[in-house]
Structure 1
Amino acid sequence: MFAKRIPGSALIAISTILAGLSPQAAGAADLPVVPAPVFVAAGVNWDGFYAGIHGGLAVGSTTWSNPTGYFAADRGLAVPPDVAANSAQSGLIGGLQVGYNRQFGAFVFGFEADASFGPLNGYAACGAVVGLAPAEAAFPVDAFMRGSKDPCHTSIGALASATGRFGYAFGRTLIFVKGGVAYSSEQYDVINPDNFPANPAQASADRFGWTVGVGLEYALGGNWSAKGEYDYYDFGTQTIGFTVPGYPTFNSFSIRRDQHLAKFGLNYRFADTGGGADISAPAPAFVNDITGEFGGRVGFSNGRYQDNLFGFGSTAERVSRLTWPNQTGVSLESFARADHISGLFAKGYFGGVDLLGSHMNDEDFPPGTNPYSNTLSKTERGRDFYASADLGYTFLRGNTWRIGGFLGFHYYSQIMNSYGCTQVGGGDICEPGATAGNALLLSENERWRAARVGLGGDVMLTDRLKWSAEAVWLPYMTFQGTDNHWLRSDINPLPQSGHGFNGFQAESVLSYALTERIDVGVGARYWLFQAQHGFTQFPDAAMWQATTFTSMRYGVFAQASYKFGDVAAPPVIAKY
């Protein structure tokens, strides 16, 4: 699994580093004076063929509806038909693009073809009838009141598009819109732990649809440029047929699919970019008052999530605890910062983590469960997404250092899946042979939103070596979660809510200036989110149950960045 993640994550790091090694991208204000890259007076020429690589994040949606055959039958157990359901397919992507531009003054026309690779995964509770108890429940229940227990899984192996592009170029910047046709290679699985636990019902499809997007490309110097863009793919609704073991009649779902992609990449333009009659318009005057940097990061991190469920209305008695420890993963991230000559600055980042797999513990405590139970399940196919945005002011500065404060917002989400279970605590839950090892047992989808209050700065340790650090207090955060117990249709899904105080984030980066504009570096970070005041209400319960939620993530990363702007700022040397 690790090998599958690395190529997509490495693409963005390679692309940013290659930009720094370009012979046209020269030198930094804090190094000996080196002539800056030379562009045509009014702008940059975007004419000609180009090719490049990209990395990024993808979040999609799959809606399952209109079941037939096995999925609509009672299967001899008085089970109601499967219900419409929706799931997200998300993860890191990496890929390639090729294209051609033709420039007329400030206007640029062209076409582009690209391909991105995942894998992207997601599960839908299409076999659950929410709020209806399973037949094996401890309390009396009509056999009809149960779901089929069929988690429906979608996996996207590749996405591609062929589009036309229209843009406007000013200075070193090209802003563009694009639109055209889209392609997706998809695999579908439905696993029923009762009827076919070992051999899931499977289908595959090559889906075609349409796409639109918007983006920005920035000339780094010479023939290199960096870009960021957002694309939307729509594949409509298609009836997908499945082969179901033991059920020869036609079995199908109507499946609707769409996808959102955020991509950051690097292009190499093969034509002469420094001449020609068709060149970009001048950059707006206010741009001359702004400096900053943008870049990419590849990292490795570890995380832990835990929730504690208590008795009705209070925290006096703990009922159960779910712990997802050692959730390691490979991360891919883009970041940027812009500083105005006045001292105001804006900064932010967004990224994702493909989780490599670990384990999950599900504990149940006496007297509700007696004896004490502790089950162990393997975890895989998880992923994280996160983003921060800050506004601040540099209030202290010297010749080689600066300190600033900022306010901002942070979003963090994590999806984790566990499979099979083994009893390790002495209880009778998950006895040997009771649950197939490949059966999806539990999923947790956590979503945090937090206010940020931070202090940060940087200092030049030598003429090329810089240390940056920031500490952030999260005074208030909200939590929204979804707990899927896939073998219990009465609590699939089970919503969770909460809020909390006093979270924390810290980050430190040591970077080295390869040239005036290109930096490379290494860093580390730590995040803590906590909701001390939470609740969960089971569908068959008259009262809510108190719950606490805690999530943390820490890790290291490597980064490469490009500095933009040519302002001779007051006595500030570092430009992070």
Structure 2
Amino acid sequence: MRLVSAVLVAMAAARAALAGDLPVKGVEAPDAGSWTGFYLGTYVGAGLVDSQWSPGATPGTLAAVSSVSGLGSASGAMIGSQVGYNQQVGAFVYGIEGEVGTGFLLSRARCRDGSTSVCAMQTDLVATLTGRLGYAFDNVLVYGKAGAAFLDSSASATGSGYQGQYTGSALRTGWTVGGGAELGLTPNLSAKAEYAYLNFGTDSIDLNYGVYGGAMSVSQSAQMVKLGLNWRPWGAPLPGTGARLPVPGRDWSGLYAGLHAGGAWGRDEWTSGTGFLADAAVSGAFPGTGTAMGLLGGGQLGFNYQMGPWVAGAEVSASAADLGSYTKCVTNALSMSSFGCHNTVDSLGSISGRLGQSWGDVLFYGKAGAAWVSGSGALFPTTATLQYTASGTRWGWMLGSGVEYALTRNFSAFLEYDYYDFGTQSLTYSGGGLSATADFKQRLDVVRMGLNYRFGTGPDGAVAAFRAPELPAGWTAEIGGRYFASTGRMQKDLMHPALTDRLNSRLIYGNTTGQSLETFFRFENRDGLFLKGFAGLGTLAGGRLNDEDFPSDVVYSNTLSDLRDGSLSYGALDLGYELVRRGESTLGAFVGYRALYQNVNGFGCWQLARDTTCDQASHQQVPALASALALSETETWQAVALGLNSRLQLAERLRLEVDAAYLPYATRSSMDNHWFRADINPQIERGTGWGTQLEAVLSYAVTNRLDVGLGGRYWYFATDGASTGFPQVPIRSPMTFYSERYGAFVQASYRFGDIPPAEADAAGMPTKAEPAPVNWSGLYAGGTLGGGKAHTTYASPFTPPVSGDAVDLGGAMAGGQLGADVQMGAIVLGAEASAAWSNVGGTDTCFSTAPVGAASGFNCGSRVNGLGTVTGRFGYAVDRALVYARGGFAWDRQGDSFNTYAFTGTVPDHQSTNTGWTLGGGIEYALLPNLSVGLEYKHFDFGGASGFTTTWLPLAGLDLAPDSLRLDMVAMTVNYRFLTFSGR
């Protein structure tokens, strides 16, 4: 599939270049254009596949799993290609399209209640054949699609009720419906954003192990979000893009060298073993599959030779890398012991040939050749510290494609996708005087961007200055890169399966430090339609894991592990419309998609409380727990986003952009690895919930096209319905998940297409007339959308705890405000009353040292449901902006709970309204004569909440409410002024 995608890109480049050489000088096509014609293209995106397992009609030797009932969800990146034909009649466009794609979509499910069985489904290919119906306006085609869908999957089942691994595959048919928007970029090139839902119904799949076999029933559905490019080699130019005019060529011949940075993700698979590894995997239950992910950077050296529009060349590329994966493998189906499999990539590279075509200052190319990867691996029993290791360099092949743009006579920038395949190779693992082999298969997807310096000038040496690629009239594009440094937490609370109000355990992966590289873009047209998004890839390290159990072996247990070797990837895609525009300042609304993947790994196990779990004195059989891999959590969130976007031109070179989004529906699929517990490793989890995301960036225009900026981001997810299934337990256990991350980023971006027509200053910046003064005096009313963090503390009369007695909260808020301002010169004085709905909540452990036996440790938590303020503000007006500080009275409506269910069968809770104070500040911008948009921060302090108590004797008379509550909230504000700003 990746071969098809790369070939299509190369073909598109060639056809585009040839079209550019057609002798049509002086001929202009009608501005209307047409979508009629044949097209082909490629896409990237994300997919979510749900697989529901149920008993098959002929269980055969799989009778031990005939009571199958489990749901598995797989999320991952996808890549594919499409081919189609459109016919335009008036503004309506009819068409047919075929599409095929692949990706890393591996789902697992605890597929038999009461056993250790795990069923896995790998989605290999997804294809559709659909009809399309759309409506065209300007450069935009909005369409719906429906038709047939096809799914090629492979499945497996393992468990203690039978030996070995049962495997099978099936090609299934179903139906699909979806829709999207396509934007004409050039006369024969368009970009699309699309959503599709696919349903494959319920069908049987045969699973076999040697001469044994049986069948299971699986119901499958899928959702896909895609970004793609379509190329039309023939037919009229696309609407609004002008004629296919010849473009000047450039000679790319010569030696070049450069640097690059990027990220990689892929799949590591251990498939079989020999010697003691085969003995440890009774009847061949060996396979283990992990997701590798991380960052890379390095350099390249190459040579090009150009013949007409064709460019042939060779390149050597090498990258230092930090990629890794952990997975369960080498499982003994009888004793339920297992190994952990770990692989790292330290460096990788390629020796490749390149072939492309020059299209003006742009070079589209494909590449293929030999590839190498260097790193190390380890296989280790999860109940011992002995490791069997292997290291070395492996060879394989690679295939890729990219686009390169000439910045100056000698410098060029490029963006490239590469697929590396190292096949299945036998590796020798040694340790403790023993050695054995294991078959290891690895595939990697790499995205990288970089700069090249060409040592020769060639015959095009007269072209020495930077020239921006042209876009259709009325279109602009901003494309850039970021470095994002962040911190965050992942938390899960596990309840009793039958006594669902009782907390059984809690894991908090706290203060994980993230570092990631990301790319972002924004396309918009003169009619107000915009498409924007970003994607990032990075690492997670640092922080601590607290694993608590209620009850544990003896008393309350709280074990500590160090976090490292984690990975992070995320993305967003938004389609919106600018509701208001004034010059370069805008306010728009959007609907979008969010995805977040996180993997964290906890090493070591130290008992902080008084239980025997991970207590060195009582666990001599595990003498060096401090170095062992103990716990891992891998989660994927996907969500729908509804939000507002504003861009405020504060000064000629200074712009503030703010995004505020509420995520009303989110899905979470995850896997827990308790590495010391083969019986529950892996533990499959799933849930649905909601979230929020806020982002703000202040950018500075270095030139009229190049910007640099500094920004911040906050995201929060929580479930309101989640569960997992345990072996030997016939019903599922309820769970609650929280995920939070926030940090700062630096960025640089380049703007393509139209820029505001104006006289330019010496630095090439557009200039404008001196603005008329703005007067902020008057009454206003408006709305607010935002969110943020909170923190509560509890006053325990018992021995100081090892952790807890404090809760981190997060969430969203939305509300309204009414206020008035008076301006005196540049000084603005005002007063405001506000009220907001909020959903800011969290839980943690309180009074864990209370002397109440094995179930000690209580689940405490709060949820802030409403916020209000009456404040004064003091501001300073500059041009159309008002910078201000704010402070005054605040109140909240909150619910507090204190879970004593293990002892009393009740969960005392209390609703209260509390008063306190708020202090903050922000910036507001006069967008229209009656409309202003702003960014605001508020800190709230409410002191102690209204108290409540219990009559249960050990805690009788104690205040169970938090003794402090502090909130930090950030929001976008939109205000309507009843009197117009003077001067407008």
Tell me the TM-score normalized by structure 2: 0.49
3-state secondary structure, aligned to 1:325: strand
Tell me which residue corresponds to 1:158: 347
Tell me which residue corresponds to 1:236: 423
Whole-Å Cα distance in 1 between the matches of residues 364 and 500 of structure 2? 54
Tell me which residue corresponds to 1:538: 726
Whole-Å Cα distance in 1 between the matches of residues 490 and 436 of structure 2? 38
1:331 to 2:554 alignment: no
Question: Deviations for 1:8-45, whole angstroms, at most 9, x for unmatched residues?
Answer: xxxxxxxxxxxxxxxxxxxxxxxxxxxxxxxx962544
Percent pairwise identity: 40
Q: How many angstroms does 1:351 deviate by?
A: 0.9
Task: Assess if the C-alpha contact under 8 Å between 1:171 and 1:283 holds in 2.
Answer: no
Tell me which residue corresponds to 1:116: 319
CA 1:521 to 1:491, structure 2 compared with 1: closer, same or farther past 3 Å? same
CA 1:111 to 1:275, structure 2 compared with 1: closer, same or farther past 3 Å? same
Q: How many angstroms does 1:114 deviate by?
A: 1.1
Whole-Å Cα distance in 2 between the matches of residues 80 and 425 of structure 1? 41
1:299 to 2:489 alignment: no
**Of 210-219 and 284-293, the range deviating more from structure 2:** 284-293
Whole-Å Cα distance in 1 between the matches of residues 754 and 351 of structure 2? 36
Q: How many angstroms does 1:193 deviate by?
A: 5.1
1:314-325 to 2 correspondences below 5 Å: 315-325=500-510
Q: How many angstroms does 1:65 deviate by?
A: 2.2
Q: How many angstroms does 1:541 deviate by?
A: 1.7
1:106 to 2:309 alignment: yes
1:413 to 2:597 alignment: yes
3-state secondary structure, aligned to 1:371: coil
Task: Assess if the C-alpha contact under 8 Å between 2:468 and 2:753 holds in 1.
Answer: no
Q: How many angstroms does 1:369 deviate by?
A: 5.6
Question: Deviations for 1:158-184, whole angstroms, at most 9, x for unmatched residues?
Answer: 010111122233343322211111000
CA 1:285 to 1:383, structure 2 compared with 1: closer, same or farther past 3 Å? closer
CA 1:314 to 1:229, structure 2 compared with 1: closer, same or farther past 3 Å? farther
Question: Deviations for 1:235-266, whole angstroms, at most 9, x for unmatched residues?
Answer: 1111111223143xx41101111111111222
2:253 pairs, out of 24, 30, 47, with 47
Q: How many angstroms does 1:187 deviate by?
A: 0.5
Task: Assess if the C-alpha contact under 8 Å between 1:388 and 1:410 holds in 2.
Answer: yes
Tell me which residue corresponds to 2:744: 556
Tell me which residue corresponds to 1:309: 494
Whole-Å Cα distance in 2 between the matches of residues 273 and 333 of structure 1? 34
Whole-Å Cα distance in 2 between the matches of residues 286 and 511 of structure 1? 23
Q: Amino acid of the residue matched to residue 540 of structure 2?
A: L
Tell me which residue corresponds to 2:863: none
Tell me which residue corresponds to 1:525: 713
1:201 pairs, out of 388, 398, 407, with 388
Question: Deviations for 1:41-93, whole angstroms, at most 9, x for unmatched residues?
Answer: 6254433222222111111222112211221225xxx9776611111221111
Q: How many angstroms does 1:271 deviate by?
A: 2.8
1:471-490 to 2 correspondences below 5 Å: 471-490=660-679
1:422 to 2:606 alignment: yes
CA 1:120 to 1:482, structure 2 compared with 1: closer, same or farther past 3 Å? same
Tell me which residue corresponds to 2:400: 213
1:109-148 to 2 correspondences below 5 Å: 109-129=312-332, 144-147=334-337
1:348 to 2:533 alignment: yes
Tell me which residue corresponds to 1:460: 649
Structure 1: runs of 5 or more not aligned: 1-39, 133-143
3-state secondary structure, aligned to 1:294: strand
Q: How many angstroms does 1:349 deviate by?
A: 1.1
Q: Amino acid of the residue matched to residue 209 of structure 1?
A: G
Q: Amino acid of the residue matched to residue 401 of structure 1?
A: S
Q: How many angstroms does 1:126 deviate by?
A: 0.8
3-state secondary structure, aligned to 2:276: helix
Q: How many residues align?
A: 508
3-state secondary structure, aligned to 2:407: strand
Q: How many angstroms does 1:569 deviate by?
A: 7.1
**Of 97-106 and 383-392, the range deviating more from structure 2:** 97-106
Whole-Å Cα distance in 2 between the matches of residues 486 and 472 of structure 1? 37
Whole-Å Cα distance in 1 between the matches of residues 527 and 252 of structure 2? 33
Whole-Å Cα distance in 2 between the matches of residues 546 and 382 of structure 1? 26
Q: How many angstroms does 1:411 deviate by?
A: 1.2
Whole-Å Cα distance in 2 between the matches of residues 397 and 246 of structure 1? 73
Q: Whose radius of gyration is greater, 1 or 2?
A: 2
Tell me which residue corresponds to 1:94: 297
Q: Amino acid of the residue matched to residue 371 of structure 2?
A: A
Q: Amino acid of the residue matched to residue 268 of structure 2?
A: T
3-state secondary structure, aligned to 2:269: strand
Whole-Å Cα distance in 1 between the matches of residues 454 and 357 of structure 2? 17
3-state secondary structure, aligned to 1:145: coil
Q: Amino acid of the residue matched to residue 699 of structure 2?
A: S
Whole-Å Cα distance in 2 between the matches of residues 49 and 447 of structure 1? 44
Task: Assess if the C-alpha contact under 8 Å between 2:383 and 2:676 holds in 1.
Answer: no
Whole-Å Cα distance in 1 between the matches of residues 533 and 311 of structure 2? 29
Whole-Å Cα distance in 1 between the matches of residues 343 and 702 of structure 2? 44
Question: Deviations for 1:364-420, whole angstroms, at most 9, x for unmatched residues?
Answer: 113x76511111011110010111122222221112411222222111100110111
CA 1:305 to 1:116, structure 2 compared with 1: closer, same or farther past 3 Å? same
Q: Which has the higher contact order (CA 8 A, sep 6+)?
A: 1
Q: How many angstroms does 1:286 deviate by?
A: 5.7
CA 1:274 to 1:459, structure 2 compared with 1: closer, same or farther past 3 Å? farther
3-state secondary structure, aligned to 1:508: strand
Tell me which residue corresponds to 1:18: none
Task: Assess if the C-alpha contact under 8 Å between 2:468 and 2:752 holds in 1.
Answer: no
Task: Assess if the C-alpha contact under 8 Å between 1:390 and 1:409 holds in 2.
Answer: yes
Tell me which residue corresponds to 1:254: 439
Tell me which residue corresponds to 2:772: none
Question: Deviations for 1:283-315, whole angstroms, at most 9, x for unmatched residues?
Answer: 998634421221111121001000111111563
1:360 pairs, out of 519, 536, 545, with 545
Q: Amino acid of the residue matched to residue 179 of structure 1?
A: A
Whole-Å Cα distance in 2 between the matches of residues 41 and 232 of structure 1? 31
Whole-Å Cα distance in 2 between the matches of residues 477 and 273 of structure 1? 54
CA 1:41 to 1:168, structure 2 compared with 1: closer, same or farther past 3 Å? closer
Q: Amino acid of the residue matched to residue 127 of structure 1?
A: V
Whole-Å Cα distance in 2 between the matches of residues 486 and 359 of structure 1? 17
Tell me which residue corresponds to 1:31: none
CA 1:106 to 1:520, structure 2 compared with 1: closer, same or farther past 3 Å? same
Task: Assess if the C-alpha contact under 8 Å between 1:288 and 1:567 holds in 2.
Answer: no
Q: How many angstroms does 1:497 deviate by?
A: 0.4
CA 1:273 to 1:309, structure 2 compared with 1: closer, same or farther past 3 Å? farther
Whole-Å Cα distance in 2 between the matches of residues 546 and 314 of structure 1? 10
CA 1:128 to 1:378, structure 2 compared with 1: closer, same or farther past 3 Å? farther
3-state secondary structure, aligned to 2:472: helix
Structure 2: runs of 5 or more not aligned: 1-245, 759-765, 768-984
Whole-Å Cα distance in 1 between the matches of residues 399 and 533 of structure 2? 25
3-state secondary structure, aligned to 1:327: strand
CA 1:321 to 1:516, structure 2 compared with 1: closer, same or farther past 3 Å? same
Q: Amino acid of the residue matched to residue 328 of structure 1?
A: T
Whole-Å Cα distance in 2 between the matches of residues 530 and 486 of structure 1? 26
Whole-Å Cα distance in 2 between the matches of residues 85 and 209 of structure 1? 21
Task: Assess if the C-alpha contact under 8 Å between 1:110 and 1:165 holds in 2.
Answer: yes
Whole-Å Cα distance in 2 between the matches of residues 338 and 422 of structure 1? 51
Q: Amino acid of the residue matched to residue 701 of structure 2?
A: A
Whole-Å Cα distance in 1 between the matches of residues 498 and 361 of structure 2? 60
